[in-house]
């Protein structure tokens, strides 16, 4: 089979099978001293083929539940903690490039597993935690607040 035809078939199959694959991400954020709140982000990822650079390109769409925190202070003999208010808001990413991965031609390997391994490499607890932390959460004033995000689970719905 001609390499260009084979690559076009690969492109077509990847778009047909890996477009808008649902994902869920469980994460926590700091509510107050020793108390974290669990939240969920839902979305999808899509995988496309860039034939010019011979790369798979993974993009993500993601939206979290409402995130909010009241102002709180706790004090003990050893330390005191102040947690700034987080006004109710949602973290949302649309068509965000999350990962790129080079593919080999001719495609004589298990391309399904190749695409899935790329998704797992680019969309995992560490990368999602970094993505959530990139978002600037608004506080009660004009400033931004750190919520101490911790991603606990990433699930794909293949």
Paired with 30 in beta bridges are 36
DSSP symbols for 119-134: HHHHSSHHHHHHHHHH
Angle at which helices 3-17 and 111-122 cross, to 10°: 50
| DSSP at 17 | H
81's CB contacts (< 8 A; 6+ apart) are 32, 33, 73, 74, 75
* Neighbouring residues of 5: CB distance < 8 A, sequence distance ≥ 6: none
Q: What pLDDT is attached to residue 140?
A: 86
Query: To the nearest whole percent, how much of the chain has pLDDT over 70?
Result: 94
47-72 pLDDT, tens digit per residue, is: 999 989 999 999 999 999 999 999 88
pTM of the entire predicted model: 0.87
């Amino acid at each position: 089979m001609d390499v260009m035809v084979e690559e076009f078939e690969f492109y077509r199959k990847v778009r047909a099978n890996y477009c808008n694959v649902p994902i869920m991400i469980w994460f926590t954020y700091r509510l107050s001293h020793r108390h974290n709140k669990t939240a969920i982000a839902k979305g999808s990822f899509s995988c496309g083929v860039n034939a010019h650079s011979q790369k798979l390109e993974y993009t993500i769409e993601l939206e979290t539940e409402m995130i909010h925190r009241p102002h709180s202070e706790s004090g003990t003999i050893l330390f005191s903690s102040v947690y700034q208010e987080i006004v109710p808001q949602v973290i949302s990413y649309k068509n965000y490039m999350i990962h790129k991965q080079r593919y080999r031609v001719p495609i004589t390997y298990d391309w399904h597993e190749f695409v899935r391994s790329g998704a797992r490499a680019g969309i995992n607890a560490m990368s999602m935690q970094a993505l959530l932390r990139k978002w600037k959460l608004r506080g009660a004033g004009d400033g931004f607040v750190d919520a101490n995000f911790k991603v606990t689970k990433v699930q794909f719905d293949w």
